[in-house]
């Protein structure tokens, strides 16, 4: 192989890798935007904002061990919560091809079925790119112990 072939090979490799990085960045940005839309949905008590972001078979596991399965069940459960405060911090997204893992910290004040609560915890959401669209397929919340 001549020098020109080696240079073109290296250049092609760099272009492919930079293209993959650009796609990963785009995916990361898309999932961050989706996470922010879900947070807005919770802050404004408008569950319809999150409906297009949930997979039909989403599984949510809450800090008390409750498991809610399915999009409609998750939306119905979300309607039972009214937030007066929700802060998301430390949001990070890691992309693995068509799957993304979002993690972060939350602090909330709300009522659930009329009962007030205040929580601080961590969450992990799993997103999958299906038919060109990022959908949340699983969500898990854990509380952080108070000192």
CATH code, 122: 3.10.450.50
Task: Return d(Cα 82, Cα 42) in angstroms, integer.
Answer: 8
Which of the four pLDDT bands, split at 50, 70 and 90, describes residue 146? confident
Pairing type for strands 81-96 and 54-61 reads: unpaired
Angle at 58 between CA 83 and CA 67, to 5 degrees: 70
Look at residue 25 in the predicted model and tell me its pLDDT: 56
Look at the block and give the residue holding tokens 């949340």.
136
* Residue the block writes with tokens 């997204």: 93
Task: Give me the pLDDT at residue 33, please.
Answer: 97
Q: Count other Cβ atoms within 10 Å, centred on residue 13.
A: 10
Count of structural domains, the chain: 1
106: domain range? 3-143
Return the pLDDT at 22.
39
User: pLDDT digit string (tens) for 5-56?
Assistant: 444 443 333 333 334 343 445 999 999 999 999 999 999 999 999 999 999 9
Average pLDDT, the chain: 86
What tens digit of pLDDT does each residue of 78-124 get? 999 999 999 999 999 999 999 999 999 999 999 999 999 999 999 99
Residue 8 pLDDT: 41
């Amino acid at each position: 192989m001549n020098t020109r072939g080696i240079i073109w090979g290296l250049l092609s490799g760099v272009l492919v890798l930079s293209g993959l990085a650009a796609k990963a960045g785009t995916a990361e940005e898309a999932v961050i935007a989706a996470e922010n839309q879900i947070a807005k949905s919770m802050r404004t008590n408008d569950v319809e904002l999150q409906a297009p972001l949930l997979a039909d078979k989403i599984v949510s596991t809450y800090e008390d061990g409750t498991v809610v399965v399915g999009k409609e069940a998750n939306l119905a459960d979300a309607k039972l919560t009214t937030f007066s405060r929700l802060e998301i911090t430390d949001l990070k997204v890691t992309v693995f091809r068509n799957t993304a893992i979002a993690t972060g910290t939350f602090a909330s004040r709300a009522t659930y079925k009329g009962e007030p609560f205040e929580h601080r915890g961590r969450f992990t959401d799993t997103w999958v790119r299906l038919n060109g669209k990022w959908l949340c397929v699983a969500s898990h919340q854990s509380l952080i112990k108070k000192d």
